[in-house]
Amino acid sequence: MEILFEALLLGVFLIILFGLGAFFSGVETALIALSRSKTKMLIKDNPKKEKHITIWLQHPNDVLSTLLIGINTVAVASATLSATMADEVSLHFGINKALLTALSGILVTFIIIVFGEIVPKIYAIHNAEKTVKLTIVPLYYFHKLINPFTRLFTKIGVRVIKLLGGKADENTPMITRDEIKSMVRLGDEEGILKSDESAMLKNVFKFNEKIVKEAMIPINETFCVNIHDNINQILKATAEEGHTRMPVFKDDKTNIVGIIHGKDLVNIWLNKKLFILQDLMRAPYFVNENKKIADLLTQFKTGKIHMAIVKNNDGVVTGMITLEDVLEEIVGDINNEADLENVEKQN
């Protein structure tokens, strides 16, 4: 009777171990399946669990080590207990010990694979947020309990990875730029993203690589004001073109001497006799044609600039670029009122 009780007790311990194995396996899958952005949203929606969830964001290597220690400890303990239980039962009932040990090993392996790995992993990958919310608190305290061992194993693992030429930096993003690109491509292919949304996202990735030369308007295609023009010529041309800012050139368009704003011309409309173009001109802002447009956008924002005159490496004016031109590299063509009027005239 005592032997049966011991076997029953070992069986209860085995069931507990199977449950712990499922717990560790499920949490591991759920945390990995949860993107960094969703993890942060989970923290926002569950402020009481902020410190518990944050440990995954701050120390993913240590948390993974904790989970792997738990998973492997459960596997070893389960195998040991099943062998012990088989030994006790074989002694009591006179069953062949080797046969019973082999059968118990097969049964335990089956249970661990199906109920300790496959089932919790499939559930967790489809219910990642729910799984993390239910399991993160006990995981947090288990992690704190074995943290000294975890850190030791993590350091050893990181050293081995680095010796093999790999990377094991905890600050490495959980999702890479290439993975985001792949998601955009898949979203486009599967119809999740609209064509304009897909195009805009693709443009964002190209944005940092583009230079001013690719986005500028060539100087020979740019509307400019001649410094020698009189007020009537300037007002007429401005009204026809509909631009709010215009470069001013002297002799030819490669010699830009200033910028005038359309709103400044309104102020002298009523008293044309007082008009002196040089008094209205503002100093032009020059940029090199090889400058990254991302850097130019930053300068436009910080300097509250809307237009720049583009020069090549020899200092020769080659074009003009506006804030609108830069933004169009992301969102596509922006048609203002003047553009629409020009289209209507052409039609």
Tell me the mean pLDDT in the region 175-182.
Answer: 71
Tell me the mean pLDDT in the region 173-188.
Answer: 72
pLDDT tens digits for range 238-286: 777 777 788 999 989 999 999 988 777 766 666 666 567 777 788 999 9
Give pLDDT, residue 138: 94
Helix axes 147-163, 128-145, angle to 10 degrees: 100
pLDDT beyond 90 at 291: yes
Give pLDDT, residue 268: 66
Tell me the mean pLDDT in the region 158-175.
Answer: 68
Give pLDDT, residue 275: 65
pLDDT beyond 70 at 204: yes
pLDDT beyond 50 at 20: yes
Cα-Cα end-to-end distance for the chain:
100
pLDDT beyond 60 at 346: no
Q: How far apart are CA 11 and CA 13, in angstroms?
A: 5
pLDDT class of 340 with cuts at 50, 70, 90? very low
Instruction: Pick the closest to residue 77 from 126, 116, 29 (CA basis).
Output: 116
pLDDT beyond 90 at 120: yes
pLDDT tens digits for range 212-236: 999 999 999 998 988 888 878 887 8
pLDDT beyond 50 at 122: yes
Give pLDDT, residue 211: 94
Tell me the mean pLDDT in the region 139-146.
Answer: 92
Give pLDDT, residue 296: 94
Q: How far apart are CA 26 and CA 320, in angstroms?
A: 58
Query: Taking the model in full, what pTM does it have?
Result: 0.54
Give pLDDT, residue 158: 76
Give pLDDT, residue 242: 73
Give pLDDT, residue 270: 60
Q: According to DSSP H, which parts of 46-176 are helical?
A: 50-58, 60-93, 97-113, 119-126, 128-145, 147-163
Greatest Cα pair distance in the chain: 121
Give pLDDT, residue 82: 82
- CATH class (in words) of the domain with range 212-346: alpha beta
Q: What percent of the chain has pLDDT over 90?
A: 33
Tell me the mean pLDDT in the region 59-73.
Answer: 89
pLDDT beyond 50 at 308: yes
Q: How far apart are CA 27 and CA 37, in angstroms?
A: 18
Residue 309 contacts residue 284 (beta carbons within 8 Å): yes
Residue 9 contacts residue 70 (beta carbons within 8 Å): no
Tell me the mean pLDDT in the region 39-66.
Answer: 89
Give pLDDT, residue 247: 92
pLDDT beyond 60 at 173: no
Q: In whole numbers, what is the pLDDT of the chain averaged over residues?
A: 83
pLDDT beyond 90 at 202: no
Residues of the chain with CATH 3.10.580.10: 212-346
Tell me the mean pLDDT in the region 174-193.
Answer: 75
